[in-house]
Each structure stands twice: as C-alpha cells, then as structure tokens.
Amino acid sequence: MGSRILGCGSALPALRVTNDDLSRVVDTSDEWIAKRTGIRARHIAVEETATDLGVSACQKALEDAGVDAGQIDLIVCTTGTPDALFPSQAALIRAGLGAVNAVCFDLNAACAGCVYALTTAHSLLQTMPGMRRALVVGSERMSRAVDWTDRATCVLFGDGAGAVVLERCDDDQGVLASVLKNEDDVDDVLRANSLYAGDFPFTAEGVAERTAEQIAAQSEAGGQTMEEALASTTCVGDAPLLLMKGREVFKFATRVMPEVLQEACDQAGVAVEDLAVVIPHQANERIISYAAKKLGLPLERFHMVIQETGNTSSASVFMALDDARRAGRIQPGQLIGMTGFGAGLTAGAVVLRA
Ligand code: COA
C-alpha cells in the first residue's frame, strides 16, 4: 500500500516586496541579497492571516485533485507561525474549508516541516482504519517572526502557504521512502523565541516610511539584544526575535541536504540520478547549488521559486512543488525528491513516484 499526491495548491499574500523596497527598511541592496541568496522578492501578509493563506492553498489543492472538503479525513498543518497557540492552525483551516469529517492537528519541525508532515500523513493513511484522504498544508507568516531591524535575517524570509491532497492507494505508488533526522542545536544557530510583537514596517500599500532605527527604538521597551536572548536559552516570550547564525546554518544545510536525499533514494532502491525533479527547501539558491554539486546532479533538476518567495519555512517545499506541477515539470510516473532542513535542528527527505 502507498499514498499518492492527487493535487497541489499554493497561496501568496498580495503585497510583493522587492529587494529595493527592503533597502528602505534596512541597510541592504538588491545586489547583496540576490548574489548571496538568489532572492529577488518576497510576499508579505499585511492583511492575510495564516488561516487565509492555508485555506486558499488547500482550496486550490482540492480543486486540482477533484476532491470536496467533506471527503478529507485528516488535515496535518505544519507551521512555526500559527495565528493562535490554540486552536491549532489545522483546526482553523478545517473550519475555513468546511472539512467537517477531518481529524486535524499541527506539527512543528521548522523549515523541514513539509517532509515531516507528509511522512506523518502518509503513515496515518496506512495505519488508521477509515482514513483515505489527507490534506497536508504548510502555512507561514515568517514576517511576524523575523526581527525587521536585523538585515542579516529579515531579507531572507517571506510569507505563503502550500498544500497537497494525499490519497491512500493500493499499489506501491506515491511515497516510496522517507528519511527524518534530528541533531541538537547546541550552538543556538536558529531560534525564534516568540511571535513578532514589535512594530511592523509595512502597510497594505507597501513599505512604511520608517527607518530601522525608529523601529528599533519602538521595539526596545519589550525587546532584548541578540546576545541577551541567546544567553537565556529557556526564554519563551520576551524576545520577539528570530535569531540565526547564518554561516553555521549554511554549513548544516549543505551537509544534511545531500545526506538525507541520498539516504531516501537508497531506501527507495533508486539512484539519485533517476530523480527527474528535486524540490528542495527554498532557503538559499547557493545552498541548493552546493547540494546539487555534492549529489552530482545538474542544478536544473532542482525546482526553485525562491527568487519570488524568499524562504517561506515549512510552506516552501509545497509551494515549489505546486509551481513545478503547474509549469508541467512533473509528469506521471517520474521520480521526485523532496528535501528540507531547519531549526531544531531538523532535516528530512521524501522520494515519491508522481
Ligand atoms: N545586506 C547587506 N549586507 C549584509 C546583509 C544584508 N542584508 N546581511 C549581512 N550583511 C553583511 C554583513 O554585515 C557582513 O559585513 P562585514 O563583512 O562588513 O562584517 C557581510 O555582509 C557578510 O556577512 P555574512 O553573514 O558573513 O554573509 P554570508 O556570506 O554568510 O551570507 C547568509 C549570509 C545569511 C545569506 C548565509 O549565511 C546563509 O544563507 N545562511 C543560511 C541561512 C538560512 O538558510 N536560514 C534558514 C534556514 S531554514
């Protein structure tokens, strides 16, 4: 028995923020961001909630699959930036969809969430009697987790949602193998202590006329410096900051991405070269390029949307998958690899037959 992807969908917020726009918020440039990351723009949810984005992506996936919301038995939502601590983001999306027959819950594996959620849904479809179809959705508003005064991190992230409809099938199609990996983040290389609670440098029209210094001054009352926040490793509410040691994350990502993809291929009994398309976590074009080189695959096999979306955390793989499918890059019968990595530290890969 297996489970296969019947349909995909994704959603981006209306506001598109280019690198040039961001250079009015922090001291940066299109040249620096594009050269180091491949990112040209990202979308920022000013009015959209994570529920709005998630519901929209799911509706498109349902339409693509030709399935009604009432036929969904399970919703697994992966997010690090939910609208509420509870109800779960999955419960809010369930209500928005009218998926009245679905069991639902959230899963947080940071930016590797997509691979973890797909694996979890696949496993439940195999083992739970009566469960036949699942919606697996990643919905993120990273704009509420980043520190908009920290140019080294805020330029990297964006908001969005992606979803797939997964259906149990009787043959060994669809998901063929899955690898999940964790390592302790002993050096605190990637951490968000709480959702963003400071000022916000955007309006529905675009970037607000405010300097980084003004935003920093307004956030100061409730904030901490990066060093203070890093020193208090049990802090859960005081520092509204995403904290990252970029070079360390870069090293982790370029090491684990090829490792987990190779392991998943070995487990599936296929060669890496047989993957027609790889859908990597969209964190940095250079990370993807390194991984491609290590695996001996041409970069063209790796589908990217990062230029337009930035890093949308656990939504990114589903968003890129949707884009690849709609662009006609994924044909029935082809082998597809999906891989992610993120805070935790987490990493994972799935190999499936389309
Ligand atoms: N604009 C302009 N300059 C910037 C900048 C920005 N947005 N951010 C940092 N800089 C400057 C730094 O201050 C530094 O200046 P200095 O040399 O005068 O001190 C210089 O650029 C180099 O900074 P560094 O951090 O060493 O750059 P880098 O080559 O390591 O690239 C990242 C930084 C973040 C792009 C890179 O480390 C990375 O992508 N890491 C992985 C991050 C990631 O994927 N996170 C999510 C995981 S899910």
pLDDT of residue 3: 95
Q: How confident is the model at residue 193 (pLDDT cuts 50, 70, 90)?
A: confident
pLDDT digits (tens, 9 = 90+) for 43-58: 999 999 999 999 999 9
Phi, psi of 15 (to 5 degrees): -80, 120
pLDDT of residue 211: 63
Catalytic residue numbers, as ranges? 111, 281, 311
pLDDT of residue 233: 32
| CA 146 to ligand 1 center in whole angstroms | 15
d(CA 65, CA 167): 10
Q: How confident is the model at residue 200 (pLDDT cuts 50, 70, 90)?
A: low
Taking residues 139-163, report their average pLDDT.
Answer: 95
pLDDT of residue 218: 55
Taking residues 259-283, report their average pLDDT.
Answer: 98
pLDDT of residue 7: 97
Q: How confident is the model at residue 223 (pLDDT cuts 50, 70, 90)?
A: low
d(CA 269, CA 264): 9
Q: Give the residue with greater pLDDT, 227 vs 201.
A: 201
pLDDT of residue 212: 65
| CA 188 to ligand 1 center in whole angstroms | 17
d(CA 80, CA 76): 13
Taking residues 18-35, report their average pLDDT.
Answer: 96
pLDDT of residue 238: 45
Question: Across the chain, which distance is largest between two alpha carbons, in Å?
Answer: 60
pLDDT of residue 92: 98
Q: Is the pLDDT of residue 235 over 50?
A: no
3-state DSSP call for residue 43? Answer: strand
DSSP 199: -
Tell which residue, 263, 226, 232, 253, has the closest CA to residue 344: 253
Contact 316, 113 (CB under 8 A): no
Angle at 323 between CA 101 and CA 335, to 5 degrees: 85
pLDDT of residue 170: 81
pLDDT of residue 42: 98
Classify the C-alpha dihedral 246-252-258-262 as positive or negative.
negative
Contact 77, 117 (CB under 8 A): yes
Residue with CA nearest ligand 1 atom 25: 246
Out of 140, 247, 252, mutate this one to test ligand 1's pocket (max ligand atoms within 8 Å of CB): namely 247
From the number of C-beta atoms within 10 Å of its C-beta (0-12, 13-18, 19+), residue 331 rates as: exposed
Contacts of 211 by beta carbon, 8 Å cutoff, 6+ apart: none
pLDDT of residue 60: 98
pLDDT of residue 330: 95
Classify the C-alpha dihedral 114-115-119-125 as positive or negative.
positive
Out of 25, 36, 281, mutate this one to test ligand 1's pocket (max ligand atoms within 8 Å of CB): namely 36
Bond into 345 cis (ω within 30): yes
